[in-house]
Amino acid sequence: MRIPIQDVTPTTGMAEVIGWVHEVRDLGGLAFFLIRDRTGIIQVTIPKKKASKTVLAAAKTVSRESIVRVKGTVKAIDKAPGGRELIPDIFEIMSVSESPLPLDVVEKVPAELDTRLDARFLDLRRPRVGAVFQIRSVAMDAINKFFFDREFIQITTPKIVAAATEGGTELFPIAYFDKEAFLNQSPQLYKQMMMAAGFEKVFEIGPIFRAEEHNTTKHLNEATSIDIEISFADHYEVMQILEDLIISTYEYVKSKCNDQLANLDCVDFMVPKAPFPKLPYVDAITIAQKKCENKIKYGDDISTAAEKAIGEELGGHYFIVDWPTDIRPYYAMPYENDSSICKAFDLMHPRMELASGAQRVHQHDLLVQQIKRKGLNPESFEFYLHPFLYGMPPHAGWGLGAERLVMTMLNLSNVREAVLFPRDMHRLVP
């Protein structure tokens, strides 16, 4: 019976493994094969004078990335991966791979990202690349555990909608029978409606779609958003939850993913330190003005150059708080003593924005007023506004980008490396 390669030890005795031929070396009297499955790599050593004719015939014809079944005796050897090798009695080719390969799985020959994404199934066989998605899976497990441990209710909201979350043109229109419809930018409106339903604490992990014509290393047109909404909470309370989530996710990954982090050379993987600084927007602008050649003024959004400058100054995760009301969405709650500033925040990593949130407007009339101020028509939001007439509790929440979280956690150079099959301006397949 096949056993995972990671479970094969010198004390195993006889073992059977099935995996891909990762690398081949022929040294005359000895042939060496590295066989790989998702758990690791093992060396298969064939002494040509002692091996059977069937083993020698298969070993002679097999190509890299073919799938083989190998059964034999396990022996200790210091120089082999994991300190053991397999001497085969059976070497069976189960599935043949064509040659040459579209890219080098061993990574001796580097490949451009577009080449890798065109042959993504093969790219993912690379231990370093596969490690990213094993870590992402563990991170998502940590996030789910975090919410369930705190008695959140998991929800699933529509991805086909009739109205934009925030208005604007960054929408993908779709044909929905005889109606106008769009792919959803965010679960924002629906998670707020759940506050009116009395759910009090909800979370959702799901896709969002933004028709932004960006071609950068940090933007995607289809992304995964981690969203929460909490009743009877203000922006400070949900910021604390976000900080706790980030730290606990890092801790969980560090405790569960030693091998994967080693594959990514993340041996110095550090858990962020609490508390995350809370930097008022006006102070963030001041830092950017001092450090950026392209001048930024109060009332501007934070540009990429400004993010970098502020990140260098702060050095770790931090919040930007107290944003101008005019540049935040209509549902962000203005301060009672100064309506030009709102109770909104962004969670920042030194490289980029990770999350955005706020205490929400829960008063119907103020919400209508803010929608109008943004140049939007309240009639387009009737389904959303209706619950605010029937006892909407004060509430707050945020949305966190899963891909950006993984990208910054693992110091990846491009957000597309944190997505199995990324969707951007130019890529619709595979």
**Cβ atoms within 10 Å, residue 239:** 22
The range of the structural domain enclosing residue 412 comes to: 122-276+316-418
- The 10s digit of each residue's pLDDT in 203-261 is 999 999 999 888 899 999 999 999 999 999 999 999 999 999 999 999 999 999 999 99
- The 10s digit of each residue's pLDDT in 61-75 is 999 999 999 999 999
- The 10s digit of each residue's pLDDT in 162-207 is 877 666 668 999 999 999 899 999 999 999 999 999 999 999 999 9
Does residue 307 belong to any structural domain of this protein? no
| Signed CA dihedral, 285, 348, 164, 147: sign only | negative
- The 10s digit of each residue's pLDDT in 345-365 is 999 999 999 999 999 999 999
Report pTM.
0.94
How buried is 409 (Cβ within 10 angstroms: 0-12 exposed, 13-18 middle, 19+ buried)? buried
Confidence of residue 18 (pLDDT cuts 50, 70, 90): very high
Does residue 39 belong to any structural domain of this protein? yes
Does residue 414 belong to any structural domain of this protein? yes
Domain boundary among 34, 60, 95: 95
Q: What are phi and psi of 36, to 5 degrees?
A: -125, 135
144 shares its domain with 79? no
Domain at 60, CATH number:
2.40.50.140
Calculate mean pLDDT across residues 123-134.
Answer: 96
Number of domains into which the chain is organized: 2
How far apart are alpha carbons 79 and 174 in whole angstroms?
Answer: 58
Question: Which pLDDT does position 114 carry in this prediction?
Answer: 95
Q: Which residues of 198-210 are buried (b: 16+ CB within 10 A; e: fewer)?
A: ebbbbbbbeebbb
Does residue 289 belong to any structural domain of this protein? no
195 shares its domain with 159? yes
150 shares its domain with 23? no
126 shares its domain with 193? yes
Does residue 115 belong to any structural domain of this protein? no
Q: What are phi and psi of 301, to 5 degrees?
A: -75, 165
Give the angle 85-90-93 at the CA atoms, nearest 5°: 100
Does residue 28 belong to any structural domain of this protein? yes
Does residue 430 belong to any structural domain of this protein? no
